[in-house]
Amino acid sequence: MSRNAESTAFRSALEVIRAVEPRVADAIGAELTDQRESLKLIASENYASPATLLAMGNWFSDKYAEGTVGRRFYAGCQNVDTVEALAAEHARELFGAAHAYVQPHSGIDANLVAFWAVLADRVESPALKKAQVRQVNDLTEADWFALRRELGNQRMLGMSLDAGGHLTHGFRPNISGKMFDQRSYGTDPATGLIDYDRVAEAAREFKPLILVGGYSAYPRKVNFRILREIADSVGATFMVDMAHFAGLVAGKVFTGDFDPVPHAHIVTTTTHKSLRGPRGGMVLCQPELADQVDRGCPMVLGGPLPHVMAAKAVALAEARRPDFADYAQRIVDNAQALAEGLLSRGAKLVTGGTDNHLLLIDVSGYGLTGRQAEQALLDSGIVTNRNSVPQDPNGAWYTSGIRVGTPALTTRGLGAAEMDQTAELMHTVLTQTTAGANADGTPSKAKYTLDPALADKIARQATDLLAPHPLYPAIDLA
Catalytic residue positions, numbered: 64, 66, 241, 270, 273, 279
Whether omega before 298 lies within 30 degrees of 0, making that bond cis, reads yes
Looking at the DSSP assignment, which residues form a beta bridge with residue 267?
240, 284
DSSP 8-class letter at 363: G
CB-based contacts of 27, cutoff 8 Å, min separation 6: none
Looking at the DSSP assignment, which residues form a beta bridge with residue 183?
157
> Is 90 strand, coil or helix?
helix
CA angle 258, 261, 262 (to 5 degrees): 85
The closest alpha carbon to 111, from 121, 125, 101, belongs to: 101
Name the CA dihedral angle for 118, 119, 122, 126, rounded to a multiple of 10 degrees. -160
At 10, which amino acid appears?
A: F
Q: Helices (DSSP H) in 139-267: which residue ranges?
A: 141-152, 175-179, 196-206, 224-233, 246-250
* Main-chain phi, psi angles of 220, to 5 degrees: -130, 165
How far apart CA 70 and CA 409 sit, in angstroms, is 40
Q: Would you say 105 and 305 are in contact if contact means Cβ atoms under 8 Å apart?
A: yes
> Is 104 strand, coil or helix?
coil
How far apart CA 340 and CA 353 sit, in angstroms, is 8
Tell me how far CA of residue 233 lies from CA of 144, 196, 209, 265, 441, in angstroms: 32, 13, 12, 14, 55
> Is 68 strand, coil or helix?
strand
How far apart CA 164 and CA 188 sit, in angstroms, is 12
H-helix or E-strand spanning residue 307: helix 306-319
The closest alpha carbon to 46, from 339, 319, 428, belongs to: 319
Give Rg (Cα) of the chain.
23
DSSP 8-class letter at 136: G
How far apart CA 396 and CA 373 sit, in angstroms, is 14
The closest alpha carbon to 403, from 390, 415, 393, 416, belongs to: 390
Q: What is the largest CA-CA distance in the chain?
A: 70
How far apart CA 399 and CA 375 sit, in angstroms, is 13
